[in-house]
Amino acid sequence: MSKHVVAPVSDIPPGGKKLVTVRGRPIVIFNLEGEYFGLLNRCPHQGGSLCDGVITGLVQSTDPGKYSFTRQGEIIRCPWHGWEFDIRTGQSWCEPARVQVRAYPVEVAHGDTLMAPEGASGERVEDPYVAETVQVSVENDYIVVDV
């Protein structure tokens, strides 16, 4: 897997989502009150775009007429046939043991940690050639997806 900067954090407000493409894969990034999660933007049922779905919560029932509504904002409902998925894990609520949306690790990285290239083992690489440089600072945070 390799890490890809996909957006500044300011692009996705809390409760929001954004569709990005990383290495040809459509991935929808969700912001759950400052925690970021990435799901493949393809419903495992028939391929609906989860980015176009409604963000909702979890409805559970123990008995007829009794239900609870929890985890507001943590469930995405596919716009085509209504299958629901846990935004945190990609787990289906239709058939949890078998059906799941591919989930991708997402992190937030400060801009100044993204400046230098990394080697294959993740260490910072010093090039043998040095060009004239100017002082640059990056102050924003960015969303990074591991694909």
Distance of closest approach, residue 106 Cβ to ligand FES, in angstroms: 22
CB of 92 to ligand FES, least distance (A): 9
In the bound state with ligand FES, the residue whose beta carbon lies nearer, of 97 and 131, is 97
Q: Work out the number of other CB atoms within 10 angstroms of the CB of residue 57.
A: 14
Q: Which residues pair with 86 in a beta bridge?
A: 75
Question: What's CA 49's distance to the chain center, in Å?
Answer: 14
Min dist CB 33 to ligand FES, Å, is 25
Site string for ligand FES, 56-95 (x = CB under 6 A): ----------------------x-xxxx------------
Residue list 7-46, contact with ligand FES (CB under 6 A): 43, 45-46
90's enclosing H/E stretch is none
| Residue 73, number of CB atoms within 10 A of its CB | 15
Q: Which is nearer to ligand FES, 43 or 145 (CB)?
A: 43
Edge-first strand listing for the sheet containing 35-40: 17-22, 25-32, 35-40, 103-104
